[in-house]
Structure 1
């Protein structure tokens, strides 16, 4: 007698095509939901290196153009230069992870409310998405603190190294 196991929860790309229906039990985790990523591709920027000397951090100053070097005047009067770039998908997901880390109890809520469910977002399946991270947290067996630790892998973009999340997307692009 064989025992069939239920398929592992997966990320589903939400669509607006005629006839498309969301899978039964799937949960929308995009913007507008309580699980939505506040960091958008194309509008979120990062600076390298970060002011604290790490590889990168979110650029919070408005009006900066991507691809340009900008000076930053520190409180002690020293000036450092930083490259401002649009955030890569991996960085947007890492910023989301950091955002969640600042909200006590949210990881527990992810585990309670999203475990065993397919998650829907608008992101293309071949690119990293915060829904992948949510799937790992909701269905993983690591301690909560492990999901909130900074990523340790490096991503190379335009000749500059950035911290990135380990293997966020489940699809393999060849």
Structure 2
């Protein structure tokens, strides 16, 4: 079963084809970071857990679902490498679940909208 590992994009090359870097600078990076302002005006900076929750919620939205399906196909069966410490929430956990869930995913999304 694929797992989350801690490391840099350089460390991933040692994993050969069994792992892929999903941290900052990759196409799979979480655009939401701990310490960034919270989307709620009543709160201070986001925690790591809030940043991961926001990433997961975004992948469930109308456009995010298309990316989620693409990410799931590309990451299926691979170990995911990120710079986050292993004892804190990380978006790689969301991607691992998404890529390796036992349920079949829907048909591929199109970002072009309905045809006329």
TM over 0.5: yes
* TM-score, scaled relative to structure 1: 0.52
* TM-score, scaled relative to structure 2: 0.74
Higher helix share: 2
- More relative contact order in 1 or in 2 (CA 8 Å, sep 6+)? 2
**1:78-97 superposed matches below 5 A:** 83-97=42-56
Q: Does 1:11 align with 2:26?
A: no
- In structure 1, stretches of 5+ residues that fail to align are 1-7, 47-57, 60-81, 146-174
Match for residue 28 of structure 1 among 14, 21, 33? 21
Match for residue 120 of structure 1 among 71, 81, 87? 81
- Distance between the aligned counterparts of 2:25 and 2:13, measured in 1? 19
Higher strand share: 1
**1:26-65 superposed matches below 5 A:** 26-43=19-36, 45-46=37-38, 58-59=39-40
- In structure 2, stretches of 5+ residues that fail to align are 107-116
After superposition, give the CA deviation of every residue in 1:134-170 in whole Å (9 maximum; x if it has no partner).
Answer: 000100124658xxxxxxxxxxxxxxxxxxxxxxxxx
Bigger Rg, which one: 1
Contact residue 31 and residue 37 of structure 1 kept, 8 A:
yes
Cα distance, 1:84 vs structure 2: 2.2
- Distance between the aligned counterparts of 2:8 and 2:90, measured in 1? 16
Alignment length (residue pairs): 103
- Distance between the aligned counterparts of 1:15 and 1:112, measured in 2? 22
Residues 1:88 and 1:144: Cα distance change in structure 2 (over 3 Å): farther
